[in-house]
Amino acid sequence: MRRKIVAGNWKMNNTFQEADELINEIMDGLEEANQKSVNVVLCPPFTFLEMTTDYAQESDYAVGAQNVSCHDAGAYTGEVAAKMLESMGVEYCIIGHSERRKYFHETDKELTQKAELLLKNNILPIFCCGEILPEREAAKQFDVVKQQLTDAVFNLDPLDFAKIIIAYEPVWAIGTGVTATPMQAQEMHAYIRSLIAEKYGKEIAKNTSILYGGSCNAENAKELFANPDVDGGLIGGASLKAKDFLKIIDSF
Protein backbone atom coordinates (compact mmCIF):
# COMPACT_ATOMS: atom_id res chain seq x y z
CA MET A 1 0.00 0.00 0.00
CA ARG A 2 1.31 3.48 -0.88
CA ARG A 3 2.37 5.25 2.28
CA LYS A 4 4.31 8.32 3.26
CA ILE A 5 7.60 7.11 4.67
CA VAL A 6 10.57 8.88 6.22
CA ALA A 7 13.41 6.44 6.88
CA GLY A 8 16.65 7.33 8.62
CA ASN A 9 19.76 5.52 7.39
CA TRP A 10 22.32 5.97 10.16
CA LYS A 11 25.01 4.15 8.18
CA MET A 12 28.09 3.31 10.31
CA ASN A 13 27.62 6.07 12.88
CA ASN A 14 27.04 6.43 16.64
CA THR A 15 28.18 4.59 19.74
CA PHE A 16 25.71 2.64 21.86
CA GLN A 17 25.21 5.67 24.15
CA GLU A 18 24.82 8.10 21.25
CA ALA A 19 22.31 5.79 19.60
CA ASP A 20 20.36 5.56 22.86
CA GLU A 21 20.24 9.37 23.17
CA LEU A 22 19.24 9.85 19.54
CA ILE A 23 16.38 7.35 19.76
CA ASN A 24 15.11 8.97 22.95
CA GLU A 25 15.17 12.45 21.42
CA ILE A 26 13.31 11.15 18.35
CA MET A 27 10.76 9.37 20.54
CA ASP A 28 10.11 12.56 22.56
CA GLY A 29 9.66 14.54 19.35
CA LEU A 30 7.32 11.96 17.81
CA GLU A 31 5.17 11.95 20.92
CA GLU A 32 4.92 15.74 20.87
CA ALA A 33 4.18 15.94 17.14
CA ASN A 34 1.70 13.07 17.25
CA GLN A 35 2.37 12.66 13.53
CA LYS A 36 0.21 9.74 12.45
CA SER A 37 0.18 10.14 8.68
CA VAL A 38 3.88 9.38 8.17
CA ASN A 39 5.55 6.00 8.68
CA VAL A 40 8.85 6.67 10.45
CA VAL A 41 11.57 4.04 10.08
CA LEU A 42 14.90 4.02 11.94
CA CYS A 43 17.69 2.01 10.31
CA PRO A 44 20.58 1.76 12.79
CA PRO A 45 23.61 -0.53 12.41
CA PHE A 46 23.00 -4.19 13.34
CA THR A 47 24.58 -3.66 16.77
CA PHE A 48 21.81 -1.28 17.85
CA LEU A 49 18.86 -3.14 16.35
CA GLU A 50 17.89 -4.78 19.62
CA MET A 51 17.82 -1.49 21.51
CA THR A 52 15.93 0.17 18.65
CA THR A 53 13.27 -2.55 18.44
CA ASP A 54 12.91 -2.54 22.26
CA TYR A 55 12.24 1.22 22.33
CA ALA A 56 9.93 0.89 19.32
CA GLN A 57 7.45 -0.94 21.50
CA GLU A 58 6.84 2.31 23.39
CA SER A 59 6.87 4.58 20.35
CA ASP A 60 5.46 5.17 16.93
CA TYR A 61 8.29 4.18 14.63
CA ALA A 62 9.34 0.98 12.88
CA VAL A 63 12.81 -0.49 12.62
CA GLY A 64 14.80 -1.22 9.49
CA ALA A 65 18.16 -2.90 8.90
CA GLN A 66 20.76 -1.47 6.52
CA ASN A 67 21.68 -4.78 4.94
CA VAL A 68 20.92 -8.50 4.97
CA SER A 69 22.68 -11.63 3.78
CA CYS A 70 21.71 -13.09 0.42
CA HIS A 71 21.96 -16.53 2.09
CA ASP A 72 19.30 -18.19 4.17
CA ALA A 73 21.52 -19.55 6.99
CA GLY A 74 24.76 -21.41 7.57
CA ALA A 75 28.52 -20.96 7.38
CA TYR A 76 28.70 -17.29 6.32
CA THR A 77 30.84 -15.66 8.99
CA GLY A 78 29.85 -12.08 9.71
CA GLU A 79 26.55 -12.22 7.84
CA VAL A 80 23.05 -11.59 9.22
CA ALA A 81 20.06 -13.51 7.85
CA ALA A 82 16.59 -12.19 7.09
CA LYS A 83 14.99 -14.61 9.54
CA MET A 84 17.27 -13.30 12.32
CA LEU A 85 16.09 -9.77 11.55
CA GLU A 86 12.48 -10.85 11.56
CA SER A 87 12.92 -12.60 14.92
CA MET A 88 14.06 -9.24 16.37
CA GLY A 89 11.05 -7.28 15.15
CA VAL A 90 12.73 -5.65 12.14
CA GLU A 91 10.12 -4.65 9.56
CA TYR A 92 12.15 -3.00 6.78
CA CYS A 93 15.57 -3.49 5.21
CA ILE A 94 17.55 -1.25 2.84
CA ILE A 95 19.02 -3.13 -0.12
CA GLY A 96 21.13 -1.99 -3.05
CA HIS A 97 22.39 1.20 -1.41
CA SER A 98 25.03 2.78 -3.68
CA GLU A 99 27.64 2.47 -0.92
CA ARG A 100 27.09 -1.27 -0.78
CA ARG A 101 27.13 -1.55 -4.58
CA LYS A 102 30.38 0.46 -4.73
CA TYR A 103 32.37 -0.75 -1.71
CA PHE A 104 31.01 -4.28 -1.30
CA HIS A 105 30.35 -5.04 -4.98
CA GLU A 106 26.77 -6.11 -4.47
CA THR A 107 25.39 -7.61 -7.64
CA ASP A 108 21.87 -7.47 -9.03
CA LYS A 109 21.57 -11.24 -8.60
CA GLU A 110 22.37 -10.89 -4.89
CA LEU A 111 19.85 -8.07 -4.60
CA THR A 112 17.12 -10.28 -6.04
CA GLN A 113 18.06 -13.01 -3.54
CA LYS A 114 18.02 -10.49 -0.68
CA ALA A 115 14.63 -9.14 -1.72
CA GLU A 116 13.18 -12.65 -1.92
CA LEU A 117 14.56 -13.70 1.47
CA LEU A 118 13.32 -10.52 3.11
CA LEU A 119 9.83 -10.92 1.69
CA LYS A 120 9.76 -14.59 2.70
CA ASN A 121 10.47 -13.38 6.23
CA ASN A 122 7.87 -10.59 6.21
CA ILE A 123 10.38 -7.75 5.95
CA LEU A 124 9.79 -4.96 3.43
CA PRO A 125 12.79 -4.22 1.20
CA ILE A 126 13.67 -0.57 0.54
CA PHE A 127 15.34 -0.97 -2.84
CA CYS A 128 17.78 1.83 -3.75
CA CYS A 129 18.55 2.85 -7.31
CA GLY A 130 20.13 5.87 -8.92
CA GLU A 131 22.72 7.10 -11.35
CA ILE A 132 26.26 8.40 -10.81
CA LEU A 133 27.22 11.91 -11.95
CA PRO A 134 28.82 11.02 -15.32
CA GLU A 135 25.66 9.07 -16.17
CA ARG A 136 23.48 12.11 -15.43
CA GLU A 137 25.84 14.36 -17.35
CA ALA A 138 25.48 12.01 -20.31
CA ALA A 139 21.67 12.10 -19.88
CA LYS A 140 21.68 8.35 -19.17
CA GLN A 141 19.92 8.48 -15.79
CA PHE A 142 16.66 6.98 -17.04
CA ASP A 143 18.41 4.07 -18.76
CA VAL A 144 20.52 3.38 -15.67
CA VAL A 145 17.58 3.33 -13.28
CA LYS A 146 15.52 1.18 -15.67
CA GLN A 147 18.38 -1.32 -15.89
CA GLN A 148 18.80 -1.46 -12.09
CA LEU A 149 15.09 -2.12 -11.58
CA THR A 150 14.92 -4.65 -14.41
CA ASP A 151 17.95 -6.64 -13.26
CA ALA A 152 17.24 -6.71 -9.52
CA VAL A 153 13.52 -6.46 -8.74
CA PHE A 154 11.44 -6.67 -11.92
CA ASN A 155 11.97 -10.43 -11.83
CA LEU A 156 9.90 -10.72 -8.64
CA ASP A 157 6.39 -12.00 -8.92
CA PRO A 158 3.68 -9.32 -8.71
CA LEU A 159 2.58 -10.22 -5.18
CA ASP A 160 6.14 -9.81 -3.93
CA PHE A 161 6.89 -6.69 -5.94
CA ALA A 162 3.77 -5.03 -4.58
CA LYS A 163 5.40 -4.98 -1.11
CA ILE A 164 8.64 -3.31 -2.19
CA ILE A 165 9.52 0.31 -1.45
CA ILE A 166 11.72 2.08 -4.00
CA ALA A 167 14.23 4.75 -3.04
CA TYR A 168 15.54 6.89 -5.88
CA GLU A 169 18.95 8.04 -4.73
CA PRO A 170 21.05 9.86 -7.31
CA VAL A 171 24.56 8.91 -6.22
CA TRP A 172 25.89 12.43 -6.91
CA ALA A 173 23.49 13.73 -4.25
CA ILE A 174 24.32 11.26 -1.47
CA GLY A 175 26.27 12.92 1.33
CA THR A 176 27.39 15.74 -0.99
CA GLY A 177 25.08 18.55 0.06
CA VAL A 178 23.90 18.72 -3.57
CA THR A 179 20.24 17.77 -3.78
CA ALA A 180 18.23 16.85 -6.85
CA THR A 181 15.87 19.69 -7.67
CA PRO A 182 12.21 18.96 -6.90
CA MET A 183 11.70 18.82 -10.67
CA GLN A 184 14.50 16.27 -11.20
CA ALA A 185 13.12 14.14 -8.35
CA GLN A 186 9.53 14.29 -9.62
CA GLU A 187 10.60 13.50 -13.18
CA MET A 188 12.50 10.37 -12.11
CA HIS A 189 9.82 9.22 -9.65
CA ALA A 190 7.12 9.57 -12.32
CA TYR A 191 9.34 7.61 -14.71
CA ILE A 192 9.89 4.83 -12.16
CA ARG A 193 6.14 4.68 -11.56
CA SER A 194 5.54 4.41 -15.30
CA LEU A 195 8.03 1.52 -15.53
CA ILE A 196 6.24 -0.27 -12.69
CA ALA A 197 2.91 0.29 -14.47
CA GLU A 198 4.33 -1.19 -17.67
CA LYS A 199 5.67 -4.25 -15.88
CA TYR A 200 3.10 -4.88 -13.13
CA GLY A 201 0.07 -2.79 -14.09
CA LYS A 202 -1.39 0.54 -12.98
CA GLU A 203 -2.78 -0.64 -9.65
CA ILE A 204 0.58 -1.84 -8.29
CA ALA A 205 2.31 1.28 -9.68
CA LYS A 206 -0.22 3.55 -7.98
CA ASN A 207 0.32 1.77 -4.67
CA THR A 208 4.14 1.70 -4.66
CA SER A 209 5.89 4.12 -2.29
CA ILE A 210 8.82 5.83 -4.01
CA LEU A 211 11.18 7.72 -1.69
CA TYR A 212 13.79 10.31 -2.55
CA GLY A 213 17.28 10.14 -1.03
CA GLY A 214 20.31 12.34 -1.44
CA SER A 215 21.12 15.31 0.81
CA CYS A 216 17.49 15.66 1.79
CA ASN A 217 17.40 17.88 4.88
CA ALA A 218 15.18 19.97 7.13
CA GLU A 219 15.34 22.88 4.68
CA ASN A 220 14.58 21.16 1.38
CA ALA A 221 12.31 18.25 2.42
CA LYS A 222 9.06 20.21 2.11
CA GLU A 223 9.68 21.16 -1.50
CA LEU A 224 10.75 17.63 -2.43
CA PHE A 225 7.84 15.94 -0.65
CA ALA A 226 5.33 18.31 -2.27
CA ASN A 227 5.71 16.45 -5.57
CA PRO A 228 2.92 14.04 -6.49
CA ASP A 229 5.22 11.03 -7.03
CA VAL A 230 7.54 11.62 -4.07
CA ASP A 231 6.22 9.61 -1.14
CA GLY A 232 8.88 10.51 1.37
CA GLY A 233 12.59 10.24 1.93
CA LEU A 234 15.52 8.00 2.76
CA ILE A 235 17.61 10.29 4.92
CA GLY A 236 21.31 9.81 5.69
CA GLY A 237 23.23 12.60 7.41
CA ALA A 238 20.19 14.56 8.57
CA SER A 239 18.77 11.48 10.33
CA LEU A 240 21.60 11.65 12.87
CA LYS A 241 20.28 14.90 14.35
CA ALA A 242 16.94 14.41 16.06
CA LYS A 243 15.79 18.01 15.50
CA ASP A 244 16.48 17.87 11.75
CA PHE A 245 15.01 14.40 11.34
CA LEU A 246 11.82 15.43 13.17
CA LYS A 247 11.52 18.52 10.99
CA ILE A 248 11.82 16.34 7.89
CA ILE A 249 9.05 14.06 9.23
CA ASP A 250 6.98 17.19 9.72
CA SER A 251 7.54 18.34 6.14
CA PHE A 252 4.48 16.69 4.57
Binding residue for ligand PEP, selected from 175, 178, 183, 203, defined by CB under 6 A: 175
Query: C-alpha dihedral over 69, 13, 38, 215, to 10 degrees?
Result: -100
Mark whether 50 is an active-site residue.
no
Among 106, 131, 169, 244, binds ligand PEP (CB under 6 A): 169
Residue 92 CB contacts under 8 Å (≥ 6 apart), including other chains: 7, 41, 43, 62, 63, 64, 65, 123, 124, 125, 126, 165
Residue window 81-120: x/- pattern of binding to ligand PEP, with contact defined by CB under 6 A: ----------------------------------------
Q: Which of 215, 218, 225, 244 binds ligand PEP (CB under 6 A)?
A: 215
Tell me how far CA of residue 32 lies from CA of 17, 74, 104, in angstroms.
23, 44, 40
Question: Which residue, judged by CB position, is nearest to ligand PEP in the bound state?
Answer: 236
Residues from 4 through 43 that contact ligand PEP (CB under 6 A): 9
> What is the phi-psi region of residue 78: left when phi exceeds 0, alpha when psi lies from -120 to 50, beta otherwise?
left
Minimum CB–partner distance for residue 11 and ligand PEP (Å): 6
What's the one-letter identity of residue 20? D
Q: Which of 237, 246, 249, 251 binds ligand PEP (CB under 6 A)?
A: 237
**Does residue number 180 form part of the binding site for ligand PEP (CB under 6 A)?**
no
Per annotation, catalytic residue among 91, 110, 131, 169: 169
Q: Do residues 137 and 171 touch, judged by C-beta distance below 8 A?
A: no
Residue numbers annotated as active site? 97, 169
